[in-house]
Every structure is written in C-alpha cells, then in structure tokens.
A and B are shown apart, each in its own frame.
Chain A
C-alpha cells in the first residue's frame, strides 16, 4: 500500500492533550474528533490538512493519556501515516489496534521538513522523500504485530480468533 502526501512536521513529546484536548472527549465520531485534531499544538492544522498528508514528529509522540480519541482524531483527519523518531507506548498500541499506519524512522524525520512530499511503502517499511530524493527504511514491525496489522486491526484480529474457537 503506497501512501503519498505532504509533510506536517512537529517536535518532541507531542502529548495527547495537544492532539485532542480533554474538552472534546465527549465527542465520539472520527469526523467530530478530527475537527479538533492537534488543536492544542497547531490550531490551523485541522482546517488545512489534506487527505493523505503525513505527520512527521520527534521523540515520544502521543505521550500522556491513554485516550484512543488521539489516533482516532488523526485518522479521522485523513492523515495517511505518522512517522516518528519514537512513539509513547500506549499511543503506539492504539494506532496499531485501529489501523493507523505508524513508522519509527529517525533518519526520515531528520530529512523531512513541513511541505516536503513523502511516499511510503508500508509493507516494505520504505519512506521516500520526493523533495530531497532520499529513501529511508523504518524499523520493521515485530511479526506478531504484523498479524494484527494484516487482519485490519485488533478487533477483526480478535473476532477471527473468537470465531475459530467457536467452530
């Protein structure tokens, strides 16, 4: 699956309160949450992001609260993928579970600036920066996690296992 889009670059420790402030946690649909995506960090983001755009961020992205509303808001905003130097662990699990493509690749982060164009081949873990012309390889997913991703997230993965147990 190829993902192609413009880069929005932010720094380290972008927390879940910045991704979706708590005052919006009574909202439930991805579309509603998307309208406030990254509002705590960059109020212009939600209204100007285009489908397929790519978040490129520093260390410890998604630190703080366990709120799954954070990756849901990012996914709802149409973001194609998040490339980080590193992720906070609850955010990492949540993104894998809901099927938001995330990649750890410090070299690609250092190489990218806001406005660059990236092309990502998720299966190969390859990140090509069309603006600089350089290609980077992301940390491969552990095989177990790849199973969840290939099933389309944790819910389809678990449903399959429950059905198998019943038959």
Chain B
C-alpha cells in the first residue's frame, strides 16, 4: 500500500520505513522559525528547559516582521528580547529591519527551505513552504521552544486530501482565486488536522508565486500542511537559491488518500471572500455593489514580485479612487528592490498608492492600515475574521492582487476587466 507525499517526508524524518495516518511520531526538524510576536514567548519557555544552547544555530531562524518597524514601546521591548536572544546564540539567520522580509516570502527567497524539509514555525502560515515540496506546519511558542532546544518535535501523521485541478485558467485568475474557491468548496475546517496535496494540470502550469499563495492558505481550510510535488518549476526556483542539499520525495502512485476532490479550474472566475470567513468565496462579478475604504496589496500570501506586477499592470495609467487608501507592501527587501528597478514602485506612487517597507502590519490589524468601525477593505491577505484588520465592526474582503488593484481604482469591489 503506497504513501502520500506527507507520509513519505514524515517517515524519513522519523527514521521509520513507513508511517500511517493517526500514528504519533517524533521527527527531526530541518528548520525552526519564529517572529517578533511568537519568539519572545518561545524564548521564555526555552529558558525554562534547563538547556543553554539551541540545537543548531544555523537552523533556528527568527524574523522581525509583524509589529516592525517597531509600532510602539511594547513592540520595541519584544523585539529587544528577540534580538538579544539571536545575538547570544549566534544565530546567522536573524533578520531585522533593513534586511528582513515577511517571513514566508523571505525564507524561500533566501534559500533557507528546500524540498523534503520538515519545517516548524511559530506562525500558522508556515505551511507556505509546502509549495516547495516540504512538510511545513505552524505551531505555538512552546512547541517551538522545544524544537529550538532539541531539533525534534512530536506530530500526529495526518491523513491526506488530494485536490486535482483540471483545465487552463481564465484571464486574471491565479493561485489566490484557486485557493479561495477551494476553501469555499471544502470550508474553513474541511481539512482540519489533515494535509492537502495540490495536483493536476492547472497547478503544474502555475509559477512558484502562485503555488506559495495556495500552500499559504492551506491553514485557512484547517489543514496542517499543503503540499505540491516537486517539478521543473520547483527545481529552477530552488537550485538558484538553496543553501543546503535537498531531497525530493514523491507520493506513491497507489498512495491512499482520505478523499480526492476534482476541481474544474477552467470555470473559476476571479474570486472574493466576504466577511468574516475565508470560505465565503464567490466570483467578484457576483459581489454586488460593495464600496471600499482601503486596499492592501502584499502579505505572506501575495507579497511577491509576480503579485506586484499584476497589481501594477492594473494600476498603470490609472488613479486610485479618491475615497480609497491603497497600501502596497513588498514582501521582502529583495522584492522591494526588484519592484523599484522594474518601475513598479513608480507606477504605484503615480497611481496614488502608498508603498511601505515590508511588514505584516495591516494583515492582523497591527499597524500601517488599521480600519475604523464600519470601514471595508479589500485585501490580498489570508484572513477576514471579525476585527482582523482593526475595529470589530470593520470588514475585510479577501482577493488576489488584480482584483484588489481594480477595486482600488473603482472604489468598490471590481473585476479587472470592468474598470
């Protein structure tokens, strides 16, 4: 009986011939991640363990990205705790303001994650690295403290749901639309405790940016991980960056899946997810008349160069609607620099958008774009829970970069062809 991609990776890291869904295993981790919100708590727990060293300084990554550049005094104090820990333990991959990026854009870009890795991060969107054929999953600070100390972590082997996408995508449809549509189909707990395996001709044709976007939102269906098979697209991306050798695992042809879902991707139109759950997805043309106050383009979901190109393509030669604040946030310093070189930043500014240094800021209502009561935002981020971006009575509509940019121009939710 064959095994899924998730089972193959976990078996290898547990030192076992094979593992089965439901089995508890202890696995070696290749990389442990935390950020300025979760690291301080993890450090406090780490210090209770009675050990003085992290298991491998080159495999403990900390990124200052959520409330940075420091939004207030408590955030500054949190960052200091994290910075001092990084210096004390000689962590070569500690990323502070000026060299940082939004963690899940930054780590793949810096070649710190590769196919076949097991990555645990104190951030729920750690599942993003599944796009590279890694088993990557989010955990809390205590789990991360233990992983930093021991290089090992316990896991329950998840069942896998295979999703097969068929067909060529319509214009303006990308990874964000595919994953919003999928979450709309299976629900926000449709894959709870399980792994998703994305496959089919549609995703084979998708670039890495689109795959990162899809894997990023696996957690929004409750999944533990969302994985893609490694192919030429993955290798081209990884071989240009990898700092460590990697190993490619493949699902067996006779792998046993909890279920298989087939999606006719050729019929999917640009999507928008209505408040207050990512599963409230529908075609943007069926949104009705929804005026917006703010558009956010960026985040670990859609802050890559390809995303900014899409948004700039819509905004070029147009103006952001006078009632809309449009905030563009490149996902890393490198993305920012390339966007600058390509003229994208100039396009954004000429269109009346604000361009920010990389930060998670507005996505979680931290800073750089917090909403007032009754305000509506269209956002390329990943969550639209009540109060996610600010006041409990504000509303977030999730969409891809093209729809967000078109909506910024129209002043209301809009399809890029309708502006």
Residues of A within 8 A of B (CB): 13, 15, 17-18, 21-23, 25-28, 40-41, 59-60, 63-69, 71-72, 86, 88-90, 93-94, 97-98, 142, 144-145, 153-155, 158-159, 162-163
Ordered nearest first, which 6 A-B pairs have the shortest CB separation? A26-B74, A94-B140, A68-B140, A22-B364, A60-B189, A97-B142
User: Does B224 make an interface contact (CB < 8 A)?
Assistant: yes
The residues of A that contact B77 with a CB separation of less than 8 Å are 26
- Nearest CB of B to A59, in Å: 6
Q: Is the CB of B189 within 8 A of A63?
A: yes
> Number of residues in B with C-beta < 8 Å to the partner?
52
Known A-B contacts: A25-B66, A28-B44, A66-B122. Give 4 more (CB < 8 A).
Answer: A15-B385, A18-B387, A26-B78, A28-B41
Which of A63, A65, A68 contacts B41, CB < 8 Å?
A68
Residues of B within 8 A of A (CB): 24, 37-38, 40-41, 44-45, 48-51, 66-67, 72, 74-75, 77-78, 121-124, 126, 138-143, 145-146, 149-150, 154, 156, 188-189, 192-193, 219, 222, 224, 277, 364-366, 383, 385-388, 392
Most-contacted residue by chain B among A25, A66, A162 (CB, 10 A): A66
- Nearest CB of A to B182, in Å: 16
Q: Is the CB of A86 within 8 A of B154?
A: no
- Nearest CB of B to A14, in Å: 10
The residues of B that contact A71 with a CB separation of less than 8 Å are 140
Q: Is the CB of B72 within 8 A of A26?
A: yes
Q: What are 10 residue pairs bridging A and B, where the CB atoms are less than 8 Å apart in the complex?
A: A17-B365, A25-B366, A60-B188, A60-B189, A63-B222, A66-B126, A66-B140, A93-B139, A155-B146, A162-B51
Q: Is the CB of A13 within 8 A of B189?
A: yes
Complex Cα–Cα for A145 and B156 (A) = 10
Q: Is the CB of B192 within 8 A of A158?
A: no
Q: Is the CB of B24 within 8 A of A142?
A: yes
- Nearest CB of B to A90, in Å: 6
Q: Is the CB of A66 within 8 A of B40?
A: no
The residues of B that contact A18 with a CB separation of less than 8 Å are 385-387
Tell whether A17 pairs with B222 under 8 Å between CB atoms, given A27-B74, A64-B124, A97-B143. Answer: no
With both beta carbons as reference points, the residue of chain A lying nearest to B71 in the complex is identified as: A26
Q: Is the CB of A64 within 8 A of B38?
A: no
The residues of B that contact A64 with a CB separation of less than 8 Å are 124, 219, 383, 385
